[in-house]
Amino acid sequence: MSGEHLVGKVLQGRYEILEVIGIGGMATVYKAHCRLLNRYVAVKVLKESLNNDYEILQRFKTESRAAASLTHHNIVAIYDVGEEDGLNYIVMELVDGITLKEYISRVRYLPWKTACDFAMQIGLALQCAHENNIVHRDIKPHNILITKDFIVKVADFGIARAVTSDTLVTGHETMGSVRYISPEQARGGYVDARSDVYSLGVVLYEMLTGRVPFDGDNPVSIAMMKLNDNPISCRIINPDIPLDVEAITMKAIAREQHARYQSAMDMVTDLRTLLDGGTINNEAYDEERNQEEDNMSYQRRRTHTAQRKTKKKNKPSLKVIIATAVGAAVVLGLLVYALMSGGAKEVEVPEILGMTLDEAVSYVEEFGLEIDEKNIEYEPSDEYEIDQIMLQDPGAHQYMKQNKKIKITISTGDSEADIPMPDVTGKSFEDASEILEAKNLSVSRIDEVSESVKEGYVIRQSPSEGVMVSENTSVLLHVSSGSGESKEVPSVVGKTLQAAREAITSAGFKVSISEKESENDIGKVISQKPSKGSTAKEGDYITIVVGVEPEEEEPTATPTPKPVVTEAPTTPAPVTPTPEPVTRKTISIQIPETAGDVVQVKVVANGKVIHDAQHKKSEGTVDIPVEARNDATVEAYIDGQLVMSRVIEF
């Protein structure tokens, strides 16, 4: 009996398998009907490849039964564990909702109160498990369900620990798990409840910012960053996060276990205090909290950046060196995966089933992906209405390289596809619409800037010419909006950041922000590019430089002179140590072939933006000088997408 073809089967004469509701790297999840209790349940069937490892299988059975003893409203209840014809399965509560990963993908990031509420519910679930001597070990948004009433349900307590030894080498599951596991898991060290606290902190970080603390091109680089680097503060990415929320998040993802919350309940307590309107006890943030109301956006970011800059780099201890060596050995298996993947950045594929074509085209762009519009298939369906996407390849929650295309099949409803698609590219939108409507086809439109196609004319169409479709099928036309209207750039020098942003966006431009130290113009725009009176095309970036408070330099200690004694030689005054010289190195950022004609390149070094400007694709590479006294963690973004993250040694 194959685990992928169980629909229609009845397990143990009790669980009637109705449909597939999810496929992962370790198991397939089915919706089923329990004949005995007359209720719907979820049945998770382990992949057959895991059945061959006796140790994993026995551990899975033991720990699944232990997880079944957990009773908590924030934990997906396990009803039964069984085996039939070589298939091992778990019967659990059927939750009507979506995964937290799907929720984050839809909203980008959550309001801080919602994120903290979700984190508190996850923490309560973990505390229940920890009190029963169960460590989850695989907390990530994919394993967390959100109901329509915003109740959080943590899943996979039975599976996660059973396959821990395999999670680093299971193909696409690697990229999902390694982003959330603790540093001690990455190096194969001792794992306890604090490892779950770390993973919860990563999940909270992602809910607040839309990204994880450490990301990279392959699992090896992510694991090594966890072992050697400190994460950028979540408030650097999202300055609207309150100080106390930052404190909770960054404490949870501390690299060393002793520096984190020592229990999930400790973290829950701080989250509850915050949501009830209180403040947490964190002396490191007290002074900054008092200043926050005076300068909401830039003062607090600058203070935090200054704190990071004044920290001296500690030489690695023997313990750290040994741990790093062990970590390198643990992640050796990941190297194979990294080499096979060619080092290309991969992203999780979003679910687009049920969407229309134009909805999906816009949606997947947010993930750096595209719809393969030239190879769309059309098939009749009783389940999906006409124009809805009924199949996608790759499926949701799998991983694929950015700038690759998702293949889709669109439902023709209950009608057969018998109308050949005419070619309307190069025609005006009005003429194209007339031709399509004459064939009983409907029209949807997406406007795009084009240098080569006249405004109002069709650049391309989906479906393409010759594809067979049914009556009332919607045809997506990509229509040129011209090369972009030139407009006068407004003057924003002297305005506050908020006023400048509103003036620029209302004029049809985008905003790029840089910082410069200033004594008198803190929080105000010092300069702008292009300047007042210039013209730029609608949608172009206007770069503004905002004043921030200068960093206070620590005074150099001057030794107290000693009195001269005539009978003895004078003691020479101690020499003031010379600070380490500033060193400059240059990094080169490759502009992708798939990029537009103009891209926005942003570079952050040790939490400070050192470059934020537009560049033409024709430049090929952008060389950026980086200055530092000690090693610098450098991140590079192109059009908001992280393309590089590494430590540069000085």
Q: Which residues are part of the catalytic machinery?
A: 138
Taking a C-beta distance cutoff of 8 angstroms, is the pair 632, 647 a contact? yes
Looking at residue 154, the DSSP 8-state letter turns out to be E
Taking a C-beta distance cutoff of 8 angstroms, is the pair 343, 220 a contact? no
Phi, psi of 633 (to 5 degrees): -90, 115
Taking a C-beta distance cutoff of 8 angstroms, is the pair 636, 589 a contact? yes
Q: Which long-range contacts link 435-442 to residues 24+ away (Cβ below 8 Å)?
A: 436/475, 440/471, 440/472, 441/469, 441/471, 441/472, 441/473, 441/474, 441/475, 442/472, 442/473, 442/474, 442/475
- By CB atoms closer than 10 A (0-12, 13-18, 19+), residue 380 is middle
CA distances to 172, 174, 267, 524, 561 from 337, rounded to whole Å, are: 9, 9, 35, 48, 64
Q: Element (H or E) spanning 323, and its range?
A: helix 318-330
Taking a C-beta distance cutoff of 8 angstroms, is the pair 190, 621 a contact? no
Residue of 146, 189, 50, 73 lying closest to 64 (CA atoms): 50
Count of beta carbons in the 10 Å neighbourhood of residue 118: 24
Q: What is the DSSP string of 583-612?
A: EEEEEEEEPPTTS-SEEEEEEEETTEEEEE
Helix (H, G, I), strand (E, B) or coil at 569: coil
CA distance 494 to 505: 17
Amino acid symbol at 459 = I
Taking a C-beta distance cutoff of 8 angstroms, is the pair 81, 65 a contact? yes
For residue 454, what are the contacts with CB-CB under 8 A and spacing of at least 6? 480, 482
3-class DSSP string for 428-470: EHHHHHHHHHHCCCEEEEEEECCCCCCCCEEEEEECCCCCEEC
For residue 374, what are the contacts with CB-CB under 8 A and spacing of at least 6? 462, 464
Taking a C-beta distance cutoff of 8 angstroms, is the pair 214, 222 a contact? yes
Count of beta carbons in the 10 Å neighbourhood of residue 554: 7
CA distances to 332, 508, 543, 551, 613 from 526, rounded to whole Å, are: 50, 21, 11, 17, 16
CA distance 611 to 636: 9
Q: Element (H or E) spanning 180, and its range?
A: none
Taking a C-beta distance cutoff of 8 angstroms, is the pair 176, 142 a contact? yes
Taking a C-beta distance cutoff of 8 angstroms, is the pair 577, 618 a contact? no
Residue of 538, 369, 543 lying closest to 449 (CA atoms): 538
Taking a C-beta distance cutoff of 8 angstroms, is the pair 79, 40 a contact? no
* Pair of tokens at residue 565: 């004694």
